[in-house]
Amino acid sequence: MTSFQIAKEFLLNGEEFKIISGAVHYFRVVPEYWEHSLFNLKALGCNTVETYIPWNLHEPQEGTYNFEGIANIENFVKTAEKLGLYVILRPSPYICAEWEFGGLPAWLLKDPSIRIRSSSSNFLTKVDSYYQSLFEVIRPLQVTHGGPVIMMQVENEYGSFGNDKQYLKRLKELMVKHGADVPLFTSDGAWHEALKAGSLLEEDILPTGNFGSKSNQNLDQLADFHQENNKAWPLMCMEFWDGWFNRWGDEIIRRDPEELADEVEELLLRGSINLYMFHGGTNFGFMNGCSSRNSIDLPQVTSYDYDALLTEWGEPTEKYFAVQKAIKKSVGNCWQETPRDLVRKDLGKVKLNRKVSLFNTLSTISHKVYHTHTLTMEELDQNYGYILYQTTIDNREQLDNCRVVDANDRVQVFADKNLIHTEYQETLGSSFVLPKETKELNILVENTGRVNYGGRLLSPTQRKGVRSGVMIDIHFHMNIDHYPLSLDDLSKVDFTNGWEANQPGFYEYIFELDELADTFLDCTGFGKGIAELNGFHLGRYWNIGPTGSLYIPAPLLNKGKNRLIIFETEGIYAEEIHFSHQPKYIQPK
């Protein structure tokens, strides 16, 4: 049986072992393509793959667990093992990863007394229950049980959030209680304050660093931290950022391949590496994360391309070959091979089949919940998507100012189903004029993604929908009908009920295919919304860029009949859509 230990160096079966790893998130790649990504990782010269484990994927509702399909972590690990790769797992409750709420399940927010990422008993009790189910799956995958998993993470960049050592110790104890018996580690920024706050030295847990440049300088800081604490441990960058994520409305971030290769070579001369990301993949569904700047939440795009060594769609990049050479030069005796690519095709154009307005199919896709005042998504047991608030207005003799108070994240206001006002982030809570003849008020709120990093994880803004209420003149308006719109089953949309211009609506496209290949849905004819293909939620699109298409892996397509449904909130739609062989980008304004 394989043994793995941490001494002055990493030891595999008693021999020094340099970890050359790359991040591949199984939850961002369709299972049919796991082998493709992992083969290319091995062909790069890597001996290990690293992945986070998102709690919200595996326990979408409290007490309900999912380890099937794209959530089948066991199959992912065993696929890596078949290719001869070792595995690093990061099952910490919080993962960041530019993933919705940093991987924390949204249902935690229903209880305002829970303080996430803390030693509070009500939070740790939830973690304990989750770990009981999770470790039943991952416990047998450790090298101590004959599997390929060599290390596990206790917490993720906790030194950039808190310094509750009791919390870290309790997490470690829970992992051990449920069967973790491989070496454990923490990962933090490589400066002293972050390492000190986020490490668990008294438990002999290895601190690792996260950075993407100035390799020698960061390794020096990590080595100094080890020495200050009388530890003789190997140096490892657990996240070597080879690219970066992208936000709606921003420029796409790119990094020079040769500069990256030089940094990788410099790092490998002194320590071990995990390339973050090797293959970024896609934030399918509503799982995109959200960063924050000046108290404004900035959601990330559906693509998690990350300017990584493989593109979102799995194509080796110029970076791939530059880093492959750097690894060969630094390590010498690693196995390398020519990487593989996937087939991408232009699948042509498809005409619109049917359309229906949201207001005309509400009763088939949602259920009405009445309350005297506005409820949040979390209070309605809804985690993601949209929520529609509907109320009637008494006859009034004048125009009134109106405000939606404490709402997140994007608000559209309809008076008698006519759009009169849109708010987003910077203008949330601003007043608008409600026409005096208004009989019915509808407010559509989109949850654009919860923050995945920093202090705003604890902000009330992570509870989505309308928290305080709707003010007309100087009073809160009461008696509200709520329509939760999780949009997890668009087969319930009734396309026979009529369509009205300039309203949110659903658009159906039916097409036949004789051959299957990867393709890209051109979304530039639309405004803002989501797309579902054959029951699979492809993710969000938005015409502010920088991305203008949604990636469609071939396994999501059917030979024969296919059905694409688009939910569009801006009233902008295309009579004809195009499936292109390459992605489309929009220059942000």
Q: Which residues pair with 274 in a beta bridge?
A: 21
Active-site hit among 50, 59, 157, 570: 157
> In the 3-class helix/strand/coil scheme, how is 498-544 assigned residue by residue?
CCCCCCCEEEEEEEEECCCCEEEEECCCCCEEEEEECCEEEEEEECC
Q: What is the Cα–Cα distance from 119 to 108, expressed in whole angstroms?
A: 15
379-390 core/surface letters (b: 16 or more CB in 10 A; e: else): bbebbbbbbbbb
Q: What is the three-class DSSP state of 354?
A: strand
Sort strands 236-241 and 206-211 into parallel, antiparallel or unpaired.
Answer: parallel
Nearest to 448, CA basis, from 423, 470, 417, 482: 423
Phi (first) and psi of residue 353, to 5 degrees: -95, -55
Q: What is the CA 584 to chain-centroid distance, rounded?
A: 21
Max CA separation in the chain (angstroms):
85
Evaluated on CA atoms 404, 409, 413, 419, the torsion sign reads positive
Cβ distance 197 to 159 under 8 Å? yes
First to last CA, the chain: 58
Catalytic residue flag (residue 157)? yes
Cβ atoms of 541 and 302 within 8 Å: the answer is yes
DSSP string, 402-425: EEEEEEESEEEEEETTEEEEEEEG
Query: Would you state the structure tokens that stand for residue 374, as one six-digit string?
Result: 């506005």
Geometric angle at alpha carbon 571, from 568 and 573, rounded to 5°: 70
Task: Give CA angle at 452 (449, 458), nearest 5°.
Answer: 95
Find the catalytic residue in 239, 312, 423, 570.
239
Residue 535 to residues 79, 538, 567, Cα–Cα distance (Å): 26, 9, 13
Q: Are 385 and 485 in contact (CB under 8 A)?
A: yes
Q: Is residue 264 a contact partner of residue 327, using CB atoms and an 8 Å limit?
A: yes
Closest CA to 93 of 176, 177, 156, 182: 156
Q: What share of the chain is helix, strand, coil (3-state, %, to 5)?
A: 25, 35, 40
Q: Is 263 a catalytic residue?
A: no
Catalytic residue numbers?
Answer: 157, 239
